[in-house]
Structure 1
């Protein structure tokens, strides 16, 4: 299971000796690798304990060995190329043989290879694949060879930023309820429930919202959900997020997530555990998205489709028109082995209440829904997949904002966008102290 990756490890004596020396002469590292920051990022115990720090670094080394697979080619992404120079501190993308990716560490996938593409839902736009250059790493002009998948390399710095090394790449455990926020998580969402759902589709407006501190995030995504919202909650998630803790910057990034026990011990972001099987050689999950939308300027959105393959029962993810990213094997789940009972679209932020006030972390564009197109963020062309593997318009879309004075939402329907909504907000303001 994914949760065991960071618990078992073997390490050379040379490496141990080197680390011990490093720890003894550089005690300042203790504040960086504390395993349990609180939500605001303050360490619970600043006392330097070389044995504990060594243990953490041993765990980090073991995790990196499991996560980062041998590459047949490595691509250095450019953060922002210019005519005169380019930043060398972008993502490192490893081209990994598809059957060697992290998913195939799972006991039920060992020795297998990615499956062939399934039948698309009826009513799906069948244009030729397009939009592959929506990620910054593609701006270098490099690409991964066929038969490989591009994987964003996880670094020691990534893990040292984590609020918990042992839970790296996983969401914070929390009691999940749809009708309220919990543990500082706030939402503005549209959702449907009461039927059996076999997938969902939406076009999601992409922005680069400001995030107030390292231990908060802002995301916009789809949730495909089944279970009771207790410990048995199953979710499949995809969208974009700004997460300084996970990625070390403030760029919006394409991401996936899954869990089968309400974020307790199963699931992870992207390819950080054995689970999601990537099949595409041109899209790197977790990589930065470019371009992004601008206020009163150009608008950019990404189209995502998640659906259950009627033949094998796996849940597939498609980006744009025809680009299959990969799939979540059905055996990962309990309730979602059959169907979803709810589909949700919208935004989520973490409010850690820095200094005792509501966070200024933005959701969407950072502007309220009432400002409309070009200013507020949107979801459009919302659809679900029915029992017959057909895309159908939403019926009875409901909208909900946990804290409408901080982040709000307004739904609508027309002939061009179908079901849609605007959502988001600035966080702290005069009505949201």
Structure 2
């Protein structure tokens, strides 16, 4: 770095005079001030050459907690300094003394993970919402880190299900990063860049990008609440629906609100396989309250496998114009304009992979069949609807909204909806969802009402405000 630091002899029993709080140091920290450091403090000079962090440990070890906290504050966004949840209190400097070596190891792990998932780009686009979109060569995207895909390229488009209309209007842009006309070149895929502060908001590096299923609460609930329509009892090879997009309010950083399609097989235990796509508001994952287009998968009930979007090797993106994880615009407004997105997920009859299509004919990509156990064959259930996380303890309920934040009975322009709900049968035909049932596990907080007509086919309204006089 070229600068020299002189450490002067401590006076009046106070070490590291450059820091205001050093007079509160514990005796154990004082003992860590080694003989070598004391000798150096009597007048010897040392030139900084090497790791800045390691030199700071040598020079300022007694005050290193203060120094490291300042460094983390500078490196992270204001959102990452929010009050941490019960699960992450062990990382909060407000609750206990930081351990320098542990924090350095954490930062090292974060940077290693960033290098793994942020691939080299041929073009970078800065979005008005703060996102950075990297245009990555399609064969270099994270999916091809998987041993089964290494060295391969994305597959060609499969045969669509019969009865699927691909002649509808295709929106020029439905995401904020494309509002100024920016696009990624052909042969690349747009990937939302993960930043250090994104991972700092998570429980840990290993938890980043995962849909955690359990929260510490004093009730039997695992914290996840749903209002869904579903079909079961047959073999399903895909699903389609138009999903109303809103921007629900989320109470705190560690909760989310989403609306999606689930393709499900296996038991609701350790072997659950799911494929999921829709929109979500997740301050922890994205650092804001925009509704964002997302995907998810798991083959072990959200335990060790799977992730959101492209945050692990799994989903293979084939489209250069849609960024998974990017903000959706516009969204619907109460008593105003309504906006929905149409999603189709189906199993390719030839190769067995599960493909995702947005709108009318826009292929986003696919989940390779080898990612799954049960879903290698077919799905045994399909769900459509909303999900929120309620992290409030002691029987309280969150005010996080589902859908529009209004109950189903409020109807069009007020409540959120799914319409034209269909499934793909064994012969690759799109058919109306047979025997569609609806269920809300906390109907006083979020509810659902189904129906059918010629214009919308099978549909339902759903959602709610969460905490209210009837929802404890």
Say yes or no: TM over 0.5.
yes
Work out which of the residue numbers 421, 426, 430 in structure 1 matches 2:465: 426
Most deviating of 13-22 and 330-339: 13-22
Work out which of the residue numbers 201, 206, 209 in structure 2 matches 1:169: 209
**Separation in 2, partners of 1:344, 1:181:** 23
**Separation in 2, partners of 1:193, 1:39:** 36
- Residue 30 of structure 1: CA displacement? 7.1
Work out which of the residue numbers 130, 143, 159 in structure 1 matches 2:199: 159
**Separation in 1, partners of 2:152, 2:56:** 37
2:186 aligned with 1:149:
no
Q: Contact conserved, 1:39 with 1:215, CA < 8 A, in 2?
A: no
User: Over alpha carbons, which structure has the higher Rg?
Assistant: 2
Indicate the residue corresponding to 1:78 in structure 2: 128
Structure 1 144/30 Cα, relative in aligned 2: closer, same or farther at 3 Å?
closer
**Separation in 1, partners of 2:156, 2:52:** 42
- Residue 357 of structure 1: CA displacement? 2.4
Q: Contact conserved, 1:202 with 1:381, CA < 8 A, in 2?
A: yes
Most deviating of 419-428 and 157-166: 157-166
- Residue 42 of structure 1: CA displacement? 4.3
Q: Contact conserved, 2:68 with 2:100, CA < 8 A, in 1?
A: no
Say which SS state the counterpart of residue 254 (structure 1) adopts: strand
Indicate the residue corresponding to 1:17 in structure 2: 54
**Separation in 1, partners of 2:279, 2:268:** 23
- Residue 140 of structure 1: CA displacement? 2.1
**Separation in 2, partners of 1:39, 1:203:** 37
**Separation in 2, partners of 1:142, 1:348:** 33
Where do 1:7-406 residues align within 5 Å?
14=51, 17=54, 25-27=67-69, 38=85, 42-43=89-90, 46-79=96-129, 90-127=130-167, 130-174=170-214, 182-353=221-392, 357-406=396-445
Indicate the residue corresponding to 2:29 in structure 1: none
**Separation in 2, partners of 1:174, 1:26:** 31
- Residue 163 of structure 1: CA displacement? 2.3
**Separation in 1, partners of 2:56, 2:325:** 30
Q: Contact conserved, 1:401 with 1:407, CA < 8 A, in 2?
A: yes
Structure 1 132/274 Cα, relative in aligned 2: closer, same or farther at 3 Å?
farther
Structure 1 305/19 Cα, relative in aligned 2: closer, same or farther at 3 Å?
farther
Higher relative contact order (CA 8 A, sep 6+): 1
**Separation in 2, partners of 1:29, 1:378:** 46
**Separation in 1, partners of 2:54, 2:319:** 41
Gaps of 5+ in 1: 1-12, 80-89
C-alpha deviations, 1:203-238, integer Å up to 9, x for none?
Answer: 000000000000000000000000011100000000
Q: How big is the alpha-carbon RMSD for the aligned residues of Structure 1 and Structure 2?
A: 2.3
Q: Number of paired residues?
A: 407
Say which SS state the counterpart of residue 195 (structure 1) adopts: strand
Structure 1 403/378 Cα, relative in aligned 2: closer, same or farther at 3 Å?
same
Say which SS state the counterpart of residue 308 (structure 2) adopts: coil
C-alpha deviations, 1:269-301, integer Å up to 9, x for none?
Answer: 000000000000000000000000000000000
**Separation in 1, partners of 2:287, 2:443:** 29
**Separation in 2, partners of 1:37, 1:352:** 12
**Separation in 2, partners of 1:40, 1:207:** 29
- Residue 162 of structure 1: CA displacement? 0.9
Q: Contact conserved, 1:95 with 1:150, CA < 8 A, in 2?
A: yes
Q: Contact conserved, 1:40 with 1:354, CA < 8 A, in 2?
A: no
**Separation in 2, partners of 1:173, 1:348:** 12
**Separation in 1, partners of 2:180, 2:187:** 20
